[in-house]
Amino acid sequence: MINIKKFTFNPVGVNAYVLWDEVKEAVVIDPACSNRSEEAVLSRFVEEQGLNVVQLLNTHGHFDHLMGNSFAETKWGLKCRIHPGDLPMVSQAKQHAMFFGISMANPAEAVALVPGEEITFGRSVLKFIHVPGHSAGGVAYYSEADHLLVVGDILFEGSVGRTDLPGGNHAQLISGIKEKLMVLADGVRVYPGHGGDTTIGRERRSNPFLQ
């Protein structure tokens, strides 16, 4: 069974998630830490739980979600994985951040996820579901067995991702959410890239962007 721990890091308030199971292998999704104290919080948690990090994953290529990539790569000796559609954004992160008045170095190169790939850790499996529209290569990581979905900025509690940035397309985002995410079971717990968590059932019933 997957355990999930959320941290909120960096000036933009990105949710970083650590997922692990009884085998104590872990994946970190959007590490996102932007200074020494946030880095210490994340690495201390992993050490205290006795976890072995086996994959680093990004939900998409916006700079705020990439802010912890370099630290995580150095710390755990792994390349971050990202959908090929957002791979070009990794080398543009510094410029993208500057546009928002935030300074960061470009993260180290990421490695593309392979279509149909399953991400395994311990006894657990994550699939990725590609939902473009917030960015070209946005993905949600889904555990069918544990009914959880780490959704990045595709979907929020009562809202959806902004679509005014390069690669954004509102109609594409809404149709992707409806066709690929709202078909999941009501009880699937949704963990967004910002703000609180929710469920598929709750968003299907009450999210004003999906009615």
Binding site for Zn ion (CB under 5 A): 62, 153
| CA atoms of 175 and 179, how far apart (whole Å) | 6
- Residue 62 or 75: which CB sits closer to Zn ion? 62
| CA atoms of 17 and 33, how far apart (whole Å) | 11
The strand order across the sheet containing 80-82 reads 3-9, 14-20, 25-29, 52-57, 80-82, 111-112
Shortest spacing between CB 138 and Zn ion, in angstroms: 8
- Residue 10 or 124: which CB sits closer to Zn ion? 10
Q: How far is CA 89 from CA 93, 165, 211, in A?
A: 6, 12, 32
Shortest spacing between CB 102 and Zn ion, in angstroms: 13
- Residue 53 or 173: which CB sits closer to Zn ion? 173
Shortest spacing between CB 163 and Zn ion, in angstroms: 10
Q: For Zn ion, which residue has the nearest CB?
A: 62
Shortest spacing between CB 153 and Zn ion, in angstroms: 4
| Three-state secondary-structure class, residue 151 | strand
Relative to beta strand 111-112, strand 3-9 is unpaired
Nearest to 129 by CA among 119, 161, 56: 119
- Residue 101 or 116: which CB sits closer to Zn ion? 101
Shortest spacing between CB 54 and Zn ion, in angstroms: 25
- Residue 62 or 96: which CB sits closer to Zn ion? 62
